[in-house]
């Protein structure tokens, strides 16, 4: 039974839909390759997900004594978080709703056999 090494970020300030575009790029890849992909992806979500990946790698090295060369991304998910509802006033006494969406990002790493 392989041990799961987890890292999670809740309430990330990006929508789950935008985060999933980046998450799909690195699913199933070795962590060194995934980190390089995220470093050069020009999206805000890539920077956020890279920080969570670095945290998961640090957890693996510090708590389990696993080298980063033997790790791969077993599971990665970007789920919807709560939506803050904001408003901006518009013409003729109306107001325009603004939805500030958040997401929960979870990364599970495993060691290659």
Q: What is the pLDDT of residue 40?
A: 96
Residue in this structure with the two tokens 């789920």, named with its chain if needed: 79
The structure's pTM equals 0.89
Cβ pair 31, 75 in contact under 8 A? no
Q: Which domains does the chain have, with CATH numbers?
A: 5-111 (3.90.470.10)
Averaged pLDDT of the chain: 94
**pLDDT class of 3 with cuts at 50, 70, 90:** confident
pLDDT over 90, % of the chain: 91
């Amino acid at each position: 039974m392989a041990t799961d090494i987890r890292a999670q970020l809740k309430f990330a300030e990006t929508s789950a839909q935008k985060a999933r575009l980046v998450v799909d790029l690195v699913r199933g890849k070795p962590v060194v390759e995934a980190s390089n992909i995220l470093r050069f992806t020009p999206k805000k979500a890539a920077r956020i997900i890279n920080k969570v990946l670095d945290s998961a790698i640090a957890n693996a090295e510090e708590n389990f004594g696993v080298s980063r060369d033997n790790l791969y991304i077993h599971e990665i998910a970007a789920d919807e978080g709560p939506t803050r509802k904001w408003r901006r006033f518009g013409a003729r006494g109306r107001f325009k709703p603004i939805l500030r969406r958040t997401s929960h990002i979870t990364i599970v790493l495993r060691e290659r056999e």
